[in-house]
Structure 1
């Protein structure tokens, strides 16, 4: 469970770092946006690295960690896209999510 929690928090920071400037920050100079994004991403790394180490130490493979992170990233991004950017989710988002959940299932089944 700490792995899932840390991966979720790290994805929140990374989504903010990558996409915050799309809403209201497009007029800011690109070097400034990059600097701010890197500052935010530092917190993401402080959470992602321990999440992966903890998960790996508890028997998760690197592949399991990666596809789990991707599912979490899609959930976090979906929420961010709707709540912050005001973008609607479509059936394509649901399809992509289903495919990623399938990838997780393939890597965890029989483990």
Structure 2
């Protein structure tokens, strides 16, 4: 559970680091890069322990990666809709469904 909470929190930071500057495209690129790097530091402070705890706790590296990708898509989708005000199309839902199939097969014994 700690792994999932840390992955979720790190992905919130990651999403802001990578995409928040899109709300203010008038900001000079060098400032956007520095701001993103500053935010990304906190992502790494959460992501590294999440992966370490998950790996020691029994997840394989492949399982950790697929969990991280699903968490990333959920966090990014909420960010895109609520912060960037983009529309969510049904085809995104279908694509996510296929990714959830990937998760199923990753964890299938």
Q: Normalising TM by the smaller chain, what interval?
A: over 0.9
Alignment of 1:1-111 (within 5 A): 1-23=1-23, 25-110=24-109
Distance 1:44 1:96 in 2: 26
Distance 1:68 1:30 in 2: 31
- Cα RMSD after superposing both structures: 0.7
Distance 1:92 1:41 in 2: 30
Distance 1:96 1:16 in 2: 23
- TM normalised by structure 2 equals 0.97
Distance 1:101 1:107 in 2: 10
Query: 4+ residue runs of structure 1 moved beyond 2 angstroms?
Result: none
- The farther-off stretch of 100-109 and 39-48 is 100-109
Provide the secondary structure at the position in 2 that maps to 1:59: coil
Cα distance, 1:99 vs structure 2: 1.5
- TM normalised by structure 1 equals 0.95
1:70-96 alpha-carbon deviations (Å, 9 max, x no partner): 000000000000000111111121012
Cα distance, 1:6 vs structure 2: 0.4
* Total equivalences in the alignment: 109
